[in-house]
Chain A
């Protein structure tokens, strides 16, 4: 049973427009959420995170929104750039003694010039 779901395997966006990547989760014990970006043949790169006590976190062109009641988070990239083309993974964590991250299957973003 997947606890973190990214239902869109791919997304295509025009350069300069907004990219919105979505993520749903089922475990109400998750208290921290992260987004990672991954290029082919490389490891995931940490992008941005949000604690469950917040509903928004912003870092430059990247903003993450968290809707706890809907168990939904989204990553907004604006404006999108061709270099943003990559696979984006949503991940979640339960605090305390557990250290592992639980990942979604990823969404492949293509930003067209």
Chain B
């Protein structure tokens, strides 16, 4: 049973470019969460999605960041016009139901903005 998959594992972008991070949840999981980890910090919640729905985006910056989880295909976290402060590790997690508290994490995408 494949775990949560994220790609790319490493992404380098120049300031002003767009970054697209992909996440495929575990088989049978329909709930996806995105977290960001800055150096020496814990993981910070960004957004919680179900298929075709954003359930909670209270942790998302108001500008430049968006997320989707279409009916078919992976969940996408999109960062437009990246700045150096966006450099971080971005983790995706999934769970089978909302009632399941345990979330299973992917390996992360390390974004570096130069």
A→B interface (CB under 8 Å):
4, 6, 32, 34, 36, 41-46, 49, 89, 91, 93, 95, 97-106
Residues of chain B with a CB closer than 8 A to A106's CB: 42
Known: A49-B101, A49-B102, A100-B33. A44 touches B45 (CB 8 A): no
Is B18 on the interface with A (CB-CB < 8 A)? Answer: no
Give the interface size class of chain B: 20 to 34
Known: A42-B108, A44-B105, A105-B42. A100 touches B98 (CB 8 A): no
> Smallest distance from the beta carbon of A37 to chain B beta carbons, Å?
11
Known: A36-B105, A93-B101. 10 other contacts (CB 8 A): A32-B101, A99-B31, A99-B48, A99-B56, A99-B95, A101-B33, A101-B45, A101-B101, A103-B42, A105-B42
Give which listed residue, B41, B56, B59, B105, contacts A43 with CB less than 8 A. Answer: B105
Contact A103 B44, beta carbon cutoff 8 Å: yes
Closest residue of B by beta carbon distance from A100: B45
Is B40 on the interface with A (CB-CB < 8 A)? Answer: yes
> Smallest distance from the beta carbon of B32 to chain A beta carbons, Å?
10
Residues of chain A with a CB closer than 8 A to B43's CB: 44, 89, 91, 101, 103
Query: How far apart are the CA atoms of A75 and B88 in the complex, in Å?
Result: 28
Residues of chain A with a CB closer than 8 A to B25's CB: none
Closest residue of A by beta carbon distance from B34: A100
Query: How far apart are the CA atoms of A70 and B93 in the complex, in Å?
Result: 30
> Smallest distance from the beta carbon of B38 to chain A beta carbons, Å?
10
> Smallest distance from the beta carbon of A7 to chain B beta carbons, Å?
13
Closest residue of B by beta carbon distance from A33: B101
> Smallest distance from the beta carbon of B75 to chain A beta carbons, Å?
14
Give which listed residue, A45, A95, A97, contacts B105 with CB less than 8 A. Answer: A45
Residues of chain B with a CB closer than 8 A to A99's CB: 31, 33, 48, 55-56, 95, 98
